[in-house]
Each structure stands twice: as C-alpha cells, then as structure tokens.
Structure 1
Amino acid sequence: MTDMCEKLLPEVLEHLVKLALRYDNTVTKKRRLWDLSSPRCRSTKFEPPYIDIVNRNKTRIVRLEEPVLSRSEQLSLPRSRKLLELKKSPAFHEFEPLRKSNVNRRVRKSLLSVYSRLGNVQPPQKPVKPPQLSKAELKFHADYTKRLAKPKALPKPPQVERTKKIYNKKRTKKLAKPKVHQEEPINEWKFTRALQNYQPSQRIRNLAIPKQSLMQESNPNAFKVKKSALHYNVSRRIVELSLPSVTLSDQNVRKNVNVISSSALSAKPSKRIIDLAEPRVRSLPKDLPLPYISRKALKAKISKRLIELAKPKQYHIY
C-alpha cells in the first residue's frame, strides 16, 4: 500500500502544480474585472464621537436607504427608463398606494446608479401649469381671435393709365408669321474610291465574326440521338412515372354516395382493421377516484347554437 502511495504522489503533485498555474493565469487575465467588482471603501458622512463611559448608550445615525456600492447590486436594479414609462402609463394611477410607493422607491434607487447617470436619464419633473389670465387679458385674446377669424379682403388691382403708342404694323405682321425650318438635303449614297481602297483594322475584323452559341461549342452533334437510346427497353416504373396525374373529374366522382358497392359488403376485414376499430380503453390508476360531474352539468339545457355545432358538416359534390 505504501509503495502505491509513493508512486501516486509525484503524479498528484504535478496535477496540483498545473491547476495552480492555470488558476494564476485566469486571475491575471481577469484582474481588471476583479478590481471593478471589489467595492470602494468610502467613509461615512457621520462618525459618532468616542465616549469613555461604559454604561452610556452610544448614538449612531443610520441611513434609511444604504448606498448601492457594488457593481452587482447596481446591475440588479431595474432599468430607470422602464420605470419612468410605467409611471407615465394610465395603469399606474389604478395601483394601490403601497405599490406606488415601491415603484417610486425603485425609481429613486435606479436614478442614483452609475449606469443611469452614464445613460443621461433625467428624473421626472412636475408639469408646469400655465399662468391664469386675468379678465382683461381673456377679453383681449377673444377679440384677437375674432379678428384673425375674419377672411382678408382681396386687394383691388391698381388702375394702369395706358398711353397711346404708335405701333409698326409691318413689324407685327412679320413676327406673326410662323417660322419655316429648312431641311438639309440628304445626299445619295455612292460607292467612292476611298471605300474601294479602305482596309479594315483587326478590331473591326474581330467584331465582324458571328458569335457562336454555347451548344455549338460544347456539343456540335447535340440533336443527334444515340443508337442505344433508340433500342432502349423502358422499365415499368418509368412507364408509371410518364403517365399524367389523375385528377377528380365528373366521371370518377360517384353520384350516389350513400350506395355501398357489393365488393365492400362482401369484404372480410383483417385483424389489424378489427384492432383499430375497437375503442381505446384508458387505464386509470386504482387510487384515483372516478371523474366527478357537477349537478349543474347534469341539469344543463342545450342551446340551439350548440345543437347546430354538433351536427356534422355536409359536403356537396357537384
């Protein structure tokens, strides 16, 4: 037994050293988070004086609401924007007074947190009521609105004193005539000597070559059928797939649906169909009591609407 322990001790020590190194690495990586999570040591606003008398009771001032110091407590608070939206909603006025005070207390706490300050969340302000007008001011305002309600009078056009001028009749007649646009004559095309001696460039020759389709490039004999395809024996499955899908036409639908065929009357059901035809028997545990039916349900009267809904639907086949 001692030999086994001596053999296992170095292996255990190696694993412990590895775990210690791994822990140190993780701590050094997340040291910033550790520093942020630790609360700051803040001194209290009031420190009671030291009293030497033993039997005298020491007085100490304690805050009703202790300040939120840790980051986790600040994150646990509800969002101040959602609380302010809840206060603005009409449902807030129907709350009980205790519930309203809880909401107001949470609003005060969340507004003092660091995250609400960084988000620039403003506290709710009381609506400023407009100042009440005096009787003289109300009368002046009423007269002012009446004057604005009247439509403005259209200004009269100014009367222009036209003086008699001497007009040049020839000039006006010339300007009144429509302009005639002369079309440029189109010369007939002629096969000149320059065209006879013209030598096209390599770019024009490349553009003059007709484009070949992809089928001609890939397979020039695309429309030729192989001999093996002509003498191919088609399987039954391919013949079934080649048949068109059967749709319900007037010939396939039976006219008398209630009539049962003779083959269906003389058919013998299998064991599987007989098992499926039997109703399911739900096995209830013996400890449970039977389902209780109330007296009102036994004495209930069925309405016309329930009778109509209980009837099966009738499908009309045209």
Structure 2
Amino acid sequence: MWRKETKPKCCEEHESLPKQMQCFWPEVCEELQKLKCRHVKRFVKRKRLMKLAVPLRSMKVNRFVRTCPCKLEKSIEISRLDERKHTRTEQLAYPKARQLLLFKEEARTLFDPFRNANLNRLIRKSLFSMYSRLANVQPPKRKKVIPKWDLKEWAHHTIKLNKLAKPKKPKKIPKEPSKRMPLKSMKRFKYLAEPKKHELLEKPEWTLTDVMYRYKASQRLISLSRPVKFDETKFIRPLPEPIPESVLKAVATARTKSLAHPTSRGTKSALADIKENPFSVSPLAIKYKATKRIKDLAEPREYENKHIRDNPYSISPAALKAKASPRTISLAKPKVRSS
C-alpha cells in the first residue's frame, strides 16, 4: 500500500522506423561517417592541451559510473517520509532511561557537548514514553507527620524572621589610598602657610655724578630730542569744500537711479501710519474681557528686599554661639610688614 514500483524514465522506448523510411538509413549512415572523418581531420592535437586532459591519479577510490536502473534485476521501491509508525515498536526501540542516566554520569567528561545534547534528547524521549513510566513504578511511600512547634520554637523562629526583615546594610567602600603626600609629613607646610612679606625698598636720591656731567650726547640723540614739526595748512580746508571735476562729469547708472528713488508705500500702509485721531481706542478693545491669566500677569511682582534689614546692627544667635577655628583666627590677624 505504501510502496510503489516505478519504471525509470531514463531509458526511452523509441518506435521502430516504418518500412518506407528504412531505404534511406544506409545513406544517412554514410553521410554521418563522412562528417565524423572531416571533424577528426580538422581537430589539431596540441601537446599542452592533451597533457591537461589526462585525469589526475591521486584519487584512490574508483570513479562512480552511473548505471541505468532498467538493467538491475530488482525493481525500485519508493519509501515515503510520512510512512506509518507503530507506537509500541517505536517506544520499545528507545533504551531504558535508567541506563542512559548512568551512562551520562560516567561519560560526561569524555564526550563533546554536541554528543551530550544527543544523549539528553534520547533521555527526554525515553522518559516520556509509556513503557519507561511503567518500568519506573515504585511502591507508594507513607507521608511523614510534621510535628507542631512549641512556644520556644516559635519564639526562636520570630527572632530569625525579625533579623531577616531588616534591610541589608551596604558594605563600607574602602577609601582608595591617595598618591599625594599628607600635609603633616611635608616639611615646608607651615612655612608656606605664612603670608608673604613684601620688603619696601627705599629709592636713593637722585644725584648728578661726574660721569653724567662729562657725558656728550650723540647726533642721533640730538635729532630724536628735537620736536616734530607738522604742516598745519594741510588740516585747514576752505568752506564750502570744492567738488572735484570727476564727480561732476560722472554719469549715474540705472542701479544708482533705482536706489535714489524713494520707497513707494501702498494705500493700506499709509492708512495705518496716518490716522485722524491716533489716541482713539477701537470698540473691540473696549468690549474685550480680560482672562484670569492676563490679570495674574498684569499684577506686579512682589520682591523681597533682603539687603535692607530692620535692625542692621543685630547679631544672629548662630553667630554668637559659633567658635572660631585656628584658620579663621590666623586670617583675622593683621599682616606684619617690615618697614
């Protein structure tokens, strides 16, 4: 029912020639022979091509030669993929689940993970089979009676629950050791903390020395010491200023003429600019009702003037209780300048 015998399509059965056409057969064979001889004579055998045409002898296995299936004694049978399978034979074919689990524990490290995956697949199939379920049947076990807790056990249990209910305390992050040297270990720390002392050097009184008295100025110094004389006539211009001849002879281009014309405004813009009564209010503006948002925005902002106090000489209680640090005390001292 599920197997079917078929005939191969490779060997086609040709019909025999009729008797009327058989007389032309010897002539057709002679012409084909002539064509074959002509083709062989035309072909030139080259040494290089003939060497390359020889197959390599490296193949150890014999070359596969296709044979026509019609020559075989037994007929071909087509086996389908959707062939029926009996559940009993299929499930009995799988090995027992216990044997596979023992084998997996023993040979876990010996095989590759790909082979272990195949073994897991077989275990899964054998576990779900009906016969493996029947083989793994065990007698029913009696349920253990759980004893009830005493007051002491409950108290101990509540103490543990209270401990577990508290939030976890995060671990303290250790401080990374800084690469900088601490200030206390530095030798010049106190010396550098002191303010700078600027020495005021007194300028000596100017005196005329003998070298200065005998010095003779060079011609370069004499020429530089002379004041520069400017021609004041260049800055004075007559009024009105004369127009140059090039400007009078110049001819204006079309671009300059177009720019020289005043801008022409339409009738609409002229009406908006010039009104009969510029201080009049339109009737729509008189009828308009302001919204809450506009009223809120129209109100002036209230600014707190924090700079001016009621009692500017009052001292806050925090300032009275404050204790000055040694740094503030050192900064409060006036600078000592050596005269």
TM range (shorter): under 0.3
Q: Select the structure with the greater relative contact order (CA < 8 A; seq sep ≥ 6).
A: 2
The TM-score, its normalising length taken from structure 2, stands at 0.20
